[in-house]
Amino acid sequence: MNVTHLECAACAARHEARRLHNLCTECGKPLLVRYDLKSAATSLTKERLKERGPDLWRYREVLPVDQAENIITLGEGFTPLVRASRLGTRMGLSHLYIKDEGQNPTQSFKARGMTAAVSMAKELGVKKLAVPSAGNAAGALAAYAARAGMEAHIFMPRDTPRANVIECEQTGAQVTLMDGLITDCGAEVGRRKEAEGWFDVSTLKEPYRIEGKKTMGYELAEQFDWELPDVIMYPTGGGTGLIGMWKAFDEMEQMGWIGSKRPRMVTVQAAGCAPIVRAFESGKRFADEFPNAQTTASGLRVPKAIGDFLILDALRASGGTAIAVTDAELIAATKEIGAAEGIFCAPEGAACLPALRKMLDDESVKSDERVVLFNTGSGVKYLESFSK
């Protein structure tokens, strides 16, 4: 609708919009969608939002689909921002919130990215989609591809939670289980996609999943009456959600909706797979691949993220940090959050709680600050994690 071009996040090379792209043809880094925000702001206003439906397509002027008939939707977005009063009181925090992405279709925030990616794939004439996934992205792609009448080819590690595998099979996807990690699955997609005629919708290897996920940032601003929180705790595997929100904040500022103040962005990872934490602590802009990655929180088991530099840039620009927690800590936190607030978090989302405790212990979060924990999915997808 208001897309002007695609821009490389690393070298700023300009790429033509309305064409299929994966990575930058100059340097191989992710592409970002750029908009005519002045034009978008003429019809996308705070007042008009009050008249729109409770889904992420309410922000359609800053989303990439041109023709409304190409939108493939299951009602994703505008998830609850829950005031976690009981948990907050226990931790000495006056303003603790949980953004519950488990309320999305397919029970995770991945629905946001796939509604945008699949809609754009339809608009650009794609018939076959492929993705490597640790679980929830696979389920989302399978559902949205089915809705669009497209083929979905999914590659997952063999130890992916069984619920994700069944979900994909029951929504018509072609599922291949592989020995190894998500990086091995990604390599297999890369080897086969040209011969098979697949379009690769891997995390940040196409420019549109981030556009769906950035709407979490728009929603936070709207739900807080256009004043952003002080701290955002975000479980980070590939990091598209964090990168997307950071992009959304910039877009909103350019449209005059918010000022220049930003939340401190906090990446939360599992101790058994913490490449961003290691890079942050050592002052690097790019993260080395994490060896022998292991964690029960399958969405955090991403040993090498192609958007690593974008995550690290946002952490440092915001005055944020990166924290690792153990599997024992995040599993215990799932029950603590559930018992206190009635939200059955995915292990990834629950990891934010022990990370927040570490920040309270070192006084990097104050008791009167507004803190948002992102629960990226529903715990019902991870029953194996709670039966060990």
Check: CB of residue 376 under 8 Å from CB of residue 267: no
The predicted structure's pLDDT at residue 134: 86
Task: Write out pLDDT tens, residues 41-96.
Answer: 999 999 999 999 999 999 999 999 999 999 999 999 999 999 999 999 999 999 99
- CA 229, CA 262: separation in Å to the nearest integer? 8
Cβ neighbour number for residue 252 with a 10 Å cutoff: 23
Per the prediction, the chain carries an average pLDDT of 97
The predicted structure's pLDDT at residue 388: 61
What value does the CA radius of gyration of the chain take, rounded to a whole number of Å? 19
Q: Is the pLDDT of residue 284 over 70?
A: yes
- Helices 308-318/240-254 angle, 10° precision: 50
Q: What angle do CA 150, 143, 133 make, to 5 degrees?
A: 95
CA atoms within 13 A on the CB side of 352: 28
Check: CB of residue 322 under 8 Å from CB of residue 289: no
The kind and range of the H/E element at 371 are strand 370-375
Residues in the chain: 388
Q: Is the pLDDT of residue 259 over 90?
A: yes
Q: DSSP assignment of 12-80, as one string? A: --EE-SSS---S-TTTSPPEEEEE-HHHHHHH--HHHHTTS-SSGGGGGGGSS-SSGGG---SS-----
Check: CB of residue 219 under 8 Å from CB of residue 252: no
Task: Write out pLDDT tens, residues 22-34.
Answer: 999 999 999 999 9
Task: Write out pLDDT tens, residues 214-254.
Answer: 999 999 999 999 999 999 999 999 999 999 999 999 999 99
- CA 29, CA 258: separation in Å to the nearest integer? 29
Query: Which class is 81-108+209-386 in CATH?
Result: alpha beta
pLDDT-based confidence at residue 36 (cuts at 50, 70, 90): very high
Q: Three-state SS string across 173-203, please? A: CEEEEECCCHHHHHHHHHHHHHHHCCEECCC
Task: Write out pLDDT tens, residues 182-208.
Answer: 999 999 999 999 999 999 999 999 999
Tell me the CA distances in angstroms from 236 to 71, 157, 222, 251, 307, one per residue in order.
28, 18, 23, 22, 11
Amino acid, res. 151: E
- CA 21, CA 24: separation in Å to the nearest integer? 8
Six token digits for residue 370: 């507004």
pLDDT-based confidence at residue 1 (cuts at 50, 70, 90): confident
Which residues, in sequence order, are CB contacts of 224 under 8 Å at separation 6+?
81, 370
Check: CB of residue 132 under 8 Å from CB of residue 188: yes
The kind and range of the H/E element at 249 are helix 240-254
The predicted structure's pLDDT at residue 135: 87
* Cα distance from N-terminal residue to C-terminal residue, the chain: 49
- CA 54, CA 40: separation in Å to the nearest integer? 19
Rounded mean pLDDT, 136-159: 97
* Residue entry with tokens 């040209």: 194
The predicted structure's pLDDT at residue 53: 96
Per-domain boundaries in the chain:
81-108+209-386
